[in-house]
Structure formats: C-alpha cells, structure tokens
Structure 1
Amino acid sequence: MRAEIVATGDEIRTGALVDSNSAHIADQLEQAGIEVTRHHAVGDDLPVLVALLHEIGARAEVAVVTGGLGPTEDDLSAAAAARALGVGLVLDQQALEEIEAYFTRRGRPMTASNRKQAMFPEGARRLPNPIGTAPGFRVVIGGCAFYFLPGVPHEMRRMLQEQVLPDLHTMQGAVRDFRLTRVISTFGLPESVVGEKVAAIHQYFPDIKLGLRAKFPEIQVKLYLNTPDEAQGGRMLDGAARWVSEALGINVFSLREGTMAEEVGALLRQQNATLALAESCTGGLIANWLTNIAGSSDYFLFGAVTYANPSKIQVLGVEPETLEQYGAVHETTAQSMARGARRIAGATYGLATSGIAGPGGGTAEKPVGTLCIGLDGPMGTRSRTVTLSFGQRLMNKRLFAMIALDLLRRALLEQPDQP
C-alpha cells in the first residue's frame, strides 16, 4: 500500500514553520507497513490544492493531509476536497455539536466563524477531534483514501493513532506487512568509520535494510525490516542489533535509541551509585540533560556551574596555586574540580568539565575546542584532554558534554577511557 503526505499552509511552504507533522506521520505509516512515496508542502492556494489532490488520487492508495481545517478564510482543505470531488460543502450536525461542546467545557463563547469547521464535502466521513475544535474527515478521490487532519501536532497525533491507523489496518486486511525498526546509538566514531564497520551486515541479514543518521554529536545506525510476521521479524532485528553492537563495541551506548544521559543514568541506578557535577565550559548542559529524565534525583545529587576561577576556589575548594600554575583549562584543575564536587555532595562519582568552547579565547597551546575532563570515584581520579572544534560554540558545548558523560559511562562499565 502506497501513501503520500500533504502539509498545507503558507507558513509550511515558506519554511516559517518546521513541518514536524509529516515526519511523524511517515514514521507511523512506515511502521504500519505502508510505503510513503512522497511528501508535499503546499500553500494556501485553492487551485494548487485541488490539482494536487487529483494527482495523488490517481497514483496513491492512501493520503494524509494536515492543516487547513481552521475557521479562517485561508483554511481551504475542506473546500479543496469538495472541489476535487465535484460536490458541495454540507453542515455536519454532529461535528457542530462537538465543536459547541468544546467551547462550553472551557466556558468560552463559540464565534460564528467556527461553524465553518463543521462544513465537510458531501459524503465525507467525519473524524472526531476529542481535544480541539477542528474535526477531520475522510473522502475517496480517484482510487485514494484521503484523511484530512488538523495541523496542531498533538491533535493530529491523537487522531492519527485512534482513527486513521485502525482504519488503515482494516483496509490492509489479514495480510499485511509490518515495518520494524531498530536504532543503535553510537558515539566516538565518524560516520564513515561506522559505515565501514557495519557494511557486512547484509551478508548475515540480507532482508534487513541499513541506514546511518548523523544526529550530532552521535551517529545512529538504523535497521529496517518489512515482514508479514511481526514476532519473527522482531527476533531477526534483535539478532542484527547484537551483530552491530559487536561490530562497533564500546562505541555503542544504546540499543533502544536512548540518550547518553539516559544510559548513564540507568548505569548509575543499576550500581546504586550517585553523581555530582562541576561544570565550567559546558555551562550546566550536563546537569540539564540528566535532570530532563524522570527519577534522576535517585542518582544525581549536585551540580555547580563554576565558570569563574573564584567560584572554583570558593565553592569547590580548588587551590589557588593550581589555577596559577596550570590555569582553568588543565587536567589537574579538572581533577580538583571533580574531587570537590564529589566531596561536597557525598557522591559516588564527581565529574568536571573545563575548556574553551569558542569562538574566542583560544591560544596556540590551548586552541578553541580544548576540553579537560576530571572524574573522581571509587577507582581513583582520572582525567582526559581532547581538542575537537566544530567552529560553533553551542556545538562544541554539546560535544564536550557528550565526551564527559561517555568518560563516566566507560568508567561505570569498567572499560578503557578512550577508543
């Protein structure tokens, strides 16, 4: 079964608004075993919309259209569908009552313009919107089943999940393919090297499609499989994921598309260990990543952004002589920061970062992109210096944070500090 996706609205067409809806819809359709062949971005232009609906109706079996269901004059989806079908717009009484009830529950008056949202092409099937004012509808144009959904992402997602996908499953019948995916997250190797190391997977798993994605600063290995047997396909993907993990070794940090912070947090929890942070160049980014995880208070005890030298001395207890002799960006300083954070919090591990994120501040001896990490724990005190610059301050900060967390991950796994 082939599908196309249409995102409507001038803000989508011009790039003023990022189209996240189409990506989500494509992912859900592919997982349902439906091949997405085209994406379209169309402005608020009735003749263009009508022409596109005719084109899609002649070549696809399914289409999902988002946007254009609002109460204003530039919301044209219903009118375009009606014109493509050669029918008029009619009032759906049930849809009108649902819209009125929505406003009543919120104690707000319904304006006359909202009545437009209950006008559908004659013969359309209403798709209720339980959390918004814009119901959707289903029509068949040519040989294609069109599902018109609102552009508000959380409304679209719920309607897609509760109404569109079950309807498509019924259309597929008893015989259907499942689109299964595994995502293996790696860090520390360039994309080209990752590709070389996993290229032989087709010799062992010929039915699995391989893809690589650079999601800075990690590289994701994606495995895809179309199969009529979901359980058997899942076992095959599990085996392929294990093969990829063995091929890439310690550079794999998640077999479930987890973040580095989630995987480090899980290791800390498994070992009943705790963490304290002293961040300078990363500016609290590591603490932010960790505290974005529900339940991180089980293992994350303390975080300090000791950016200036006096704060390193007064808060962490770094000796002034250390800073005078080595400077802020040095392994000795980072070690002292890590020990101080660990001591203050009474944590199992103390992790510290100090570096030069740029774009200025670098020297010949310590160029932009220099990072010093300190890690203090039951194994003693470790440190590492790296120099890797991507030319942009925020990119460097993200890279620094990942390197620091990866150093901790390796320590928790009792693996070497570096590849």
Structure 2
Amino acid sequence: MIAEILSTGDEIRSGALVDSNSAHIAEVLEEVGLEVTRHSTVGDDLNAISSIIKEIGARADVAVVTGGLGPTTDDLTTEAAAMAADTELYEDKAALLSIENFFKKRQRLMNPLNKKQALLPKGSKCLENPAGTAPGFAIRIGNCLFFFLPGVPSEMKKMLSEKVLPEIAVLWGGAREYSFVRSISTFGLTEAAVNENLMSVIDAYPGIRLGLRATFPEIHVKLYARGKDEKKILELLERATGSVLTKLGNRALSTKGEPMELVVGNLLKTKKSTLAVAESCTGGLVSNMLTNISGSSDYFLFSGITYSNDSKVKLLGVQQAVIDKYGAVHEETAKEMAVCARRIAGATYGLSTSGIAGPAGGMEGKPIGTICIGLATPVEVKGFRFVFQFGDRLMNKKVFAVTALDQLRRELL
C-alpha cells in the first residue's frame, strides 16, 4: 500500500522548526510494510491544506497528517479536512469529555477555546489523545484513509503507535506485505566509502534495498526487505546482514543501530568492567555521552575535566616532567592521564583525551584537528594519535569523543 505524510504549519513550512515528525512516521510506516512515496508540507492556509488533502486522497492508500489541531485561530487542519471531505464539523461529545478530563486531572481551568478541539468532521472516527488536549481523527477522503494527529512529537508518537498502527493492521487484512529493517551503526568510514564497500554485497541479494544515513560522526546502514513470505524475507535479510557485517569488520558497532556510547556501555557491563575518564580538549563530552545512558553508574566511576596543564598535574597527578618534555597534546601525556584516572577511581580501564579542537592553537606537527588518546588497561597502557580535517570546533570535539570511545570499544571486543 502507498502512504504519504503531510505536515502542516507555518513554522514547519518556513523552516523555523525542523520536521522531525515526518521522519519518525515514515520509519514506522515502512517497518509495518507501507511504501512511503511522498512527504509534503503546507502552511497555515485553509484552502491550501484542503487542496493538498484532496490531492493525496486521489493517489495514496494511507496518509498521516500532523499539526493544526490546536485551539487557536491558525489551527486549521480539522476545518480543511472537512472541506476536502465535503462534510461539516460537529461537536464530538466523547472528544469534549476527554478534553475536559485532561484539565480536571491536572487541576487546571479549561479555556473556552479548547472546545474547538472537540469539533470533528462528520463521518470521522475520533482518536483519543492520552497525552494532550487535541484528539486526532481518522476519515476516508477519496481513495485514502487519513489519520490526523497533533503536531507535538510526544503526543504524535504515542498516538501513532497506539491508535494508528492497529487501524492499519485491520486495513491490511490478509493482503499484508511484511517489511523488515536492519540498522547497522558504523564508525570510521565516510558515507561514500560505506556505500562503495557495500554495493557488491547488496548486488548479491536481490530484494534487499540499501539505505545510508549520516548521523555525525557515525554512519547508519539500513537494510530493507519487503515481501509476502515472512520467513523467506527474514532469512534473506539475515544472510545479507551477515555479509554486510563481514565486509565492515570492526567498523560495525551494532545491528540495532545503537550509538557508540551505548555499545561501549554494554561491552563494559558484559565484561564486568569499569571505566574512569580524564578529559582535556573534549571538555566532558565523553563523560556526558556515557552518562546519557541509563544504568551507566554500573560501570562509569570517575570523570575529571583537566583543561589546563596545572590541573593535569595537581588533580590527576600527571608528572610535570612529561608535560614539559612532550607538551599537553601528546600520546605520552594522554597515557599518563589515563593511568592517573584509572588509579584514582580504581577502575578496570582509564581513558583520556588531549587535543586541539580549533579554530586556533595549531602548531607544526600538531595541526588543528589533532587528538591524542590514552587507554590504560589492566595489562598495558596505549597511546593513539589521529588528525581530523573537519575545521569546526564542535565537530572536532564530537569526533574526538567518539574516537576515544572507539579505542575502548576495540579493546573490549
């Protein structure tokens, strides 16, 4: 079945807000077997919204529309849907009760304007919003079954999962096509290099479609398989995934699309190991990434941001002679930092960063983009040096942090 996505609102149309809703909806719809062929955006214009709804109704089987269900004068989607369906609005009693209860539960007074949100097109089916005031609705216009959802991402996601997908399952009946996706996160290759490496693999598996998504500094490989025989397409997808992993080698992080920090955290837990970190140029970014993962206290023991040479000596215990001889940005200094962090925390591993993020500070032999990494293990201490050419301070810090975690990941494999 063909699906389309429509986003409404001047903020989305003008670029003032990034349309993250459409990306999420497309991914979910593709995973349940629909083929998303088009994304459209329209501003807060009654006639324009109504017109594009009619267009979609003539060419798609399913459509998801977000935005414009609020109580204000620029929320026009419900009225536009009624125009497109050539019907009238009516006050849905169940929708009104749900809105009233929303305010009662929160001990807040309901603004009279919120009653507008209970107006739905005749012939539509109300979709309760468990997380907000704007109910959604489903209605057939032309050849297409439309699902109208609020634009607030948290509300939209919950309703898509709990209200829309069950309706689509009924719509499929016995004619369903199965669709499966594998998301392989990678690090260490450019998007072009990943594509070049994998094309020969994909050519060997007719029926598998390759997609690449850059999530700096990682590249996510998407393998799509679609068909009516669930067992056969799953087997095909598993074989293709195995071939891709073989081709990527240790540059592949996860077959679940997991980011570097989660992969490293899982490895530390599996190995029953702990980690201490000392950071200079990354300014706490490594530690921030690690602690963004729930349960990281099981393995992450210590973080020290020692930006100045003085703090490296006084707080960590790095030998002044090492800094005097090699400078702050050097593998030997990074190794000392890692050893000190590991000793302070009593951790299994110590990890450190020291580099030049730019845009100033480069010197002969140590250009902007240089990162030195120290890794102290139970049996040895390793130092690494890399030079990146991104030219942007924040991008450099990000790739420095992920590169440091990657050295630990490789050690844990």
TM range (shorter): over 0.9
Cα offset, 1:13, TM superposition: 0.6
TM-score (norm 1): 0.96
Q: Structure 2: how far apart are the matches of 1:189 and 1:131?
A: 41
Cα distance in 1 between the residues matched to 2:231 and 2:100: 45
Runs of 4+ residues over 3 Å off in structure 1: 229-232
Distance 2:191 2:116 in 1: 51
What value does the CA root-mean-square deviation take over the aligned residues? 1.2
Q: In structure 2, what is the equivalent of residue 106 of structure 1?
A: 106
Q: Distance in 2 between matches of 1:263 and 1:287?
A: 14
- Tell me how far 1:44 sits from its aligned partner: 0.5
Q: Deviations over 1:272-325 (max 9, x none)?
A: 111110100111111111111111111111110010111100111111121112
Do the aligned partners of 2:202 and 2:240 also contact (CA within 8 Å) in 1? no
Q: Distance in 2 between matches of 1:302 and 1:185?
A: 27
What do the CA deviations read for 1:48-80 (whole angstroms, capped 9, x no partner)? 111111111111111111111111111101111
CA drift of 1:161 comes to 1.1
Task: Give the whole-Å Cα distance in 2 for the aligned partners of 1:256 and 1:191.
Answer: 18
Of 44-53 and 187-196, more deviation after overlay is shown by 187-196
Question: How far apart, in 2, do the equivalents of 1:348 and 1:97 lie?
Answer: 58
79-88 or 327-336, which moves further after superposition? 79-88
2 CA distance for matches of 1:253 and 1:130? 36
Counterpart amino acid of residue 399 in structure 1: V
Match of 2:267 in 1: 267
Matches within 5 A, 1:327-406: 327-406=327-406
String of CA shifts for 1:119-162, please: whole Å, max 9, x gaps. Answer: 11122211111221111111111111111111111111111111
Task: Report SS of the residue matched to 1:115.
Answer: helix
1:276-355 map, 5 Å: 276-355=276-355
Q: Which amino acid aligns with 2:2?
A: R
Tell me what 2:50 maps to. Answer: 50
In 2, the alpha carbon distance for the partners of 1:112 and 1:203 equals 60
Look up the match of 2:244.
Answer: 244
Letter in 1 for 2:349: Y
Kindly indicate whether residue 73 of structure 2 is the aligned counterpart of residue 73 of structure 1: yes
Equivalent residue number for residue 208 of structure 2:
208
Measure how far apart 1:113 and its partner are: 0.8
Q: Write the deviation string for residues 84-134 of structure 1: whole angstroms up to 9, x where unpaired.
A: 122221111111111111111111111211111111112221111122111
Aligned counterpart, 1:218: 218
Matched, 1:132 2:132: yes
Secondary structure of the residue aligned to 1:315 is helix
- Please tell me the residue identity of whatever aligns with 1:113: L
Secondary structure of the 2:350 match is strand
State the shift of 1:399 in Å.
0.6
Aligned position for 1:169: 169
| Cα deviation digits, residues 145-191 of structure 1 (max 9, x gap) | 11111111111111111111111111111121122110111111222
Query: Alpha-carbon deviation of 1:235?
Result: 3.0
Distance in 2, Cα, partners of 1:385 & 1:72: 56
Identity of aligned residues (%): 56
The amino acid of 2:62's aligned partner reads: V
Question: What amino acid is aligned across from residue 407 of structure 2 in structure 1?
Answer: L
Which has the higher mean CA deviation after the structures are superposed, 183-192 or 292-301? 183-192
Match of 2:255 in 1: 255
Question: Where does structure 2 lack aligned partners over 5 or more consecutive residues?
Answer: none
Q: Distance in 2 between matches of 1:203 and 1:73?
A: 53
TM-score (norm. length: structure 2): 0.97
SS at match of 2:140: strand
Q: 1:359 offset after TM fit, Å?
A: 0.7
Q: Equivalences for 1:84-123 in 2 at 5 Å? A: 84-123=84-123
Deviation of the 1:365 alpha carbon: 2.2
**SS of aligned partner of 2:174:** coil
**CA pair 395-84 structure 1, distance change in 2 beyond 3 A:** same
Unaligned runs of 5+ in 1: 414-419
Q: Secondary structure at the match of 2:175?
A: coil
Q: In the TM superposition, what is the alpha-carbon distance from 1:203 to its structure 2 partner? A: 4.1
Structure 1 position 379, deviation (Å): 2.9
Counterpart-to-counterpart distance in 1, 2:407 and 2:302: 18
Following the alignment from structure 1 to structure 2, what is the Cα–Cα distance between the partners of residues 356 and 225?
44
SS of equivalent residue, structure 1 residue 200: helix
Alpha-carbon separation, structure 2, partners of 1:158 and 1:232: 31
Match of 2:160 in 1: 160
Counterpart position of 1:185:
185
State the alpha-carbon separation in 2 of the partners of residues 188 and 374 from structure 1: 18
CA distance in 1, matches of 2:348, 2:97: 60
Task: Return the offset for 1:42.
Answer: 0.7
Q: Which deviations, in whole Å up to 9, do the C-alpha atoms of 1:199-220 show, x marking residues without a partner? A: 1123432111112222211122
Q: Secondary structure, in 3 states, of the residue corresponding to 1:139?
A: strand
In the TM superposition, what is the alpha-carbon distance from 1:229 to its structure 2 partner? 3.2
Q: Name whichever of 237-246 and 199-208 sits farther off.
A: 199-208
Structure 2 Cα separation of the partners of residues 70 and 63 of structure 1: 20
1:417 alignment partner in structure 2 = none
Q: 1:231 Cα deviation (Å)? A: 4.0
